[in-house]
């Protein structure tokens, strides 16, 4: 099934041509299949260090040397090998070809865990195999709970490599049955307690924080390369409070698994993500920075991220910023990727009670085939999760009011989607300072712009089955050299009466030339 999906993507996109004089990659030019051995120089529109793979002492030991037997539960033997290698100064622990069963594995400084080709590592779905509880952050809130299936805390120079497979327990397990209902669980957290006293261990059938699949926290110099993941219970690859992280050449499969995000970068900095393939049951690449009260208390941003030359298939969002953004997301560069079959291509999510937001976000030379919006600003959310705070009425600005500003999208091909651009801002905190230029897009509808201050759209060729452009509470809209290929050759402008101002197309006022409903 997985290979059939990938083959379909490749066949659909292989023949696409370069966009003008600037080449937009196709599916066969990105993803794990074309990953080079070396890491190319990192270029970004902000200061970004040149990250290098961590190196490890020339010492290797197989888990079989510690008594591991194929087909058995070998958590103790894997951990013993890691601890022994760490104690002698570092090296590589090898999981060889075969089927192995384990619970939580904890990486240690200067140790690389290498999963050989043909190795299948199956992770338990039982709570007891992730005890004792460890410090973790889940959906932006800190506590003591399950941590991650592959976990590390406060370690330096760690690696997880190889082309073997990591297989979670899926949803029919004890872990999943203790799901804390993440949409609203922050309302049940006792914020007066320090995180080390918020214990979620499953005792007496209480809920737990679901373990992520790979979840280093407070770590420096991290490498995750080549491994293949499937059947997660929660998010897959989730560095939290980390610095200097390289994630490359991985494959993540979590289609039909709710909350099965591919990668979530949580309050981490200096991160390179390249040549991965994701097909997921939730967002593909997600950037987060803490949630509400707890996120503001910690106040750590995600910053200096480069996401390049990746391939995605199914997923809710190709690259999603949010909706947990309390510590801010800033300085992100998304370039030369192919997002084929995601619901949304680029998604910017906030919620009034979660704080923070994002700024200085750059997207260049990407290709999107979406089932919903190509570009979406979803800043209000739904009443299901935030109640009356989702209402589109002005409210007082406070520390929980988020914002998105300074977003640049250039050299984009959109092959399918519902809306080309859909903006749902916050009335008291509209999306601000958005630049989109050099675009070819074919979608069902054109644009839906609500609560937006400063959009510059230039050199765009927009084709749509419906000619709708819906504008409400928009200021400073500038369209230059934008062409529309729509039925009957005429776009339909719906400009809501009210606080719209400075709306121009090629220097001419839109308000004076179109019907106001």
pLDDT at 220: 98
244 and 292 part of one domain: no
357 and 503 part of one domain: yes
Residue 36 lies in a domain: no
- Strand, coil or helix: 384: helix
* 122 bridge partner residues: 101, 167
247 and 318 part of one domain: no
Cβ atoms 109, 90 nearer than 8 A: yes
pLDDT at 9: 43
Quick one: which H or E segment has residue 224?
A: strand 220-225
pLDDT at 244: 98
66 and 25 part of one domain: no
Cβ atoms 324, 350 nearer than 8 A: no
Q: Is the peptide bond before 382 cis (omega within 30 degrees of 0)?
A: no
72 and 180 part of one domain: yes
d(CA 380, CA 351): 5
Residue 459 lies in a domain: yes
How confident is the chain (517 residues) per 10-residue block, as mean pLDDT? Answer: 42 45 95 98 97 97 98 98 98 98 98 98 98 96 97 98 97 93 81 96 93 98 98 98 98 95 98 98 98 96 98 97 97 98 97 96 98 98 89 95 98 98 98 98 98 98 96 97 94 89 93 58
21 and 80 part of one domain: no
Residues in the chain: 517
Tokens of 181: 């209902």
Residue 271 lies in a domain: no
d(CA 208, CA 204): 11
Domain count, the chain: 2
Residue 272 lies in a domain: no
148 and 297 part of one domain: no
pLDDT at 385: 84
Q: What is the DSSP annotation of 261-300? A: -SEEEES-EEEEEES-EEE-SS-SEEEE---HHHHHHH--
Residue 269 lies in a domain: no
Per the structure, the complete domain to which residue 420 belongs is given by 1-30+283-517
Task: Name the residue with tokens 């889940």.
Answer: 138
377 and 492 part of one domain: yes
Beta-carbon contacts of residue 313 (< 8 Å; ≥ 6 apart) = 5, 6, 9, 277, 278, 279, 340, 341, 342
387 and 293 part of one domain: yes
Query: Per residue, what are the HEC states of 413-465?
Result: EEEECCEEEEEECECCECEEEEEEEEEEEEECEEEEEEEEEEEEEEEEEEEEC
* Model pTM score: 0.95
Last residue of a domain, one of 204, 226, 261: 261
Task: Name the residue with tokens 């104690």.
Answer: 87
């Amino acid at each position: 099934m997985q290979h059939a999906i990938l083959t379909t993507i490749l066949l659909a996109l292989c023949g696409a041509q370069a966009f003008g004089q600037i080449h937009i990659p196709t599916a066969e030019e990105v993803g794990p299949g074309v990953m080079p051995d070396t890491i190319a120089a990192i270029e970004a529109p902000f200061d970004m260090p040149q990250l290098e793979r961590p190196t490890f002492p020339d010492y290797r030991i197989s888990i079989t040397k510690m008594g591991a037997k194929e087909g058995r539960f070998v958590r103790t033997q894997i951990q013993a090998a890691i601890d022994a290698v760490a104690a002698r100064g570092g090296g590589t622990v090898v999981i060889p070809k075969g089927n192995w069963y384990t619970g939580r594995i904890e990486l240690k400084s200067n140790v690389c865990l290498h999963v050989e080709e043909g190795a299948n590592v199956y992770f338990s779905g039982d709570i007891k195999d992730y005890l004792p509880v460890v410090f973790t952050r889940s959906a932006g809130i800190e506590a003591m709970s399950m941590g991650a299936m592959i976990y590390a805390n406060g370690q330096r120079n760690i690696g997880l490599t190889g082309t073997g497979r990591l297989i979670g327990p899926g949803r029919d397990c004890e872990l999943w049955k203790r799901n804390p209902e993440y949409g609203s669980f922050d309302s049940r957290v006792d914020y007066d307690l320090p995180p080390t006293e918020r214990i979620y261990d499953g005792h007496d059938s209480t809920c737990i924080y679901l373990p992520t699949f790979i979840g280093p926290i407070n770590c420096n110099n991290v490498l995750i390369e080549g491994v293949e993941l499937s059947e997660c219970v929660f998010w897959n690859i989730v560095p939290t409070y980390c610095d200097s992280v390289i994630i490359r050449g991985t494959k993540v499969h979590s289609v039909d698994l709710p909350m099965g995000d591919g990668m979530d970068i949580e309050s981490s900095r200096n991160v390179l993500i390249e040549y991965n393939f994701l097909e997921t049951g939730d967002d593909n690449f997600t950037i987060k920075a803490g949630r509400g009260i707890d996120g503001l208390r910690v106040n750590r941003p995600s910053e200096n991220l480069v996401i390049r030359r990746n391939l995605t298939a199914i997923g809710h969002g190709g690259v999603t910023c949010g909706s947990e953004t309390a510590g801010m997301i800033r300085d992100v560069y998304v370039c030369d990727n192919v997002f084929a079959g995601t619901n949304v291509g680029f998604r910017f999510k906030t919620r009034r009670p979660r704080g923070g937001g994002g700024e200085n976000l750059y997207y260049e030379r990407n290709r999107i085939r979406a089932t919903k919006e190509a570009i979406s600003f979803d800043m209000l959310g739904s009443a299901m999760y935030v109640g009356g705070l989702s209402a589109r009425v002005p409210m007082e600005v406070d520390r929980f009011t988020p914002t998105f500003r300074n977003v640049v999208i250039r050299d984009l091909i959109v092959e399918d989607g519902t809306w080309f651009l859909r903006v749902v801002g916050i009335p008291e905190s509209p999306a601000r300072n958005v630049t989109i230029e050099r675009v070819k897009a074919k979608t069902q509808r054109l644009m839906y712009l609500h609560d937006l201050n400063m959009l510059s759209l230039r050199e765009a060729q927009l084709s749509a089955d419906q000619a709708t452009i819906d504008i409400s509470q928009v200021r400073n809209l500038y369209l230059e050299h934008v062409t529309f290929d729509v039925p009957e050759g005429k776009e339909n402008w719906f400009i809501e009466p009210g606080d719209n101002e400075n709306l121009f197309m090629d220097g001419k006022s839109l308000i004076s030339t179109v019907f106001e409903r």
